[in-house]
Amino acid sequence: MTVVLAQGESVTIGKGEAGSAARVRMGLGWDAVKHKGLRPGLQALTGVDLDASCLLFDADHHLVDTVWPRQLVSKDGAVTHTGDNTTGAGDGDDESIIVDLATLSPRVTALVFTVSADSSHAFSRVANAYCRLVDEHDDSEIVRYELSEHGGHDAQIMVKLARAADGWQATAIGQAAKGNTYHDLLPEILKHL
């Protein structure tokens, strides 16, 4: 059963209703806003390039590793980005990051998932955006967060996964931000650790 989170809400992934997933996939989906008057063939040319990133932190809030379109696999091999979608075209998840929670380094206490737009685009051109966590074992959706905020920002800090006593706690952050890569977002991300 999917838990739909509002901004600031949390759910524990582990014991209890949200399941006990050992491997999760963060799926990011979006569509480009349809422009009136354009032929369907030209709609594909108006796509928006969003990039999903996963930042791995230790207990002292130091950045341990990153996974994003320019580094597809974490140093320990537990986190993998499946590749860059530059338009948002197609159904379902447009970009995915798979996390093997069972093999993740014990040093990592929190993972923060972000999305940033290519430098020439902003979230005013994005529609139907969402972030979801899926159990890789049975492909069931565990948690979903709808990105409803539109505007001139070009990034969002989406979801945090933090180690908890009985599993992992997923918290919807959903904060609009400015920045084209995770480097630009670090000062804002640190406020949520």
Residue the block writes with tokens 């989406």: 158
**How confident is the model at residue 172, as a pLDDT?**
86
**How confident is the model at residue 3, as a pLDDT?**
74
CA dihedral 98, 100, 106, 107 (to 10 degrees): -10
DSSP letter, residue 71: B
Task: Please write the tens of the pLDDT for every residue from 10-47.
Answer: 888 865 444 456 889 999 888 777 665 545 554 444 56
**How confident is the model at residue 40, as a pLDDT?**
53
Cα gap 155→183, rounded to integer Å: 12
User: Which residue stretches of the chain have pLDDT < 70?
Assistant: 1, 14-21, 34-47, 85-89, 118-124, 148-153
Cα gap 47→38, rounded to integer Å: 13
Cα gap 181→50, rounded to integer Å: 10
DSSP letter, residue 23: E
CATH topology of domain 3-190: Lipoxygenase-1 (2.60.60)
Residue the block writes with tokens 């630009």: 184
Any idea how long the chain is?
Answer: 193
Q: Return phi, psi of residue 40, to 5°.
A: -55, -40
Q: Return phi, psi of residue 84, to 5°.
A: -90, 125
**How confident is the model at residue 44, as a pLDDT?**
47
* Coarse DSSP helix, strand, coil percentages of the chain, rounded to the nearest 5 percent: 10, 45, 45
Three-class SS state of 123? helix
| Domain spans of the chain, in order of start | 3-190
Instruction: Report yes or no: 132 and 65 within 8 Å, Cβ to Cβ.
Output: no
Residue (of 45, 148, 52) closest to 93 by Cα position: 52
Q: Which amino acid is at 96?
A: S
pTM to 2 decimals? Answer: 0.84
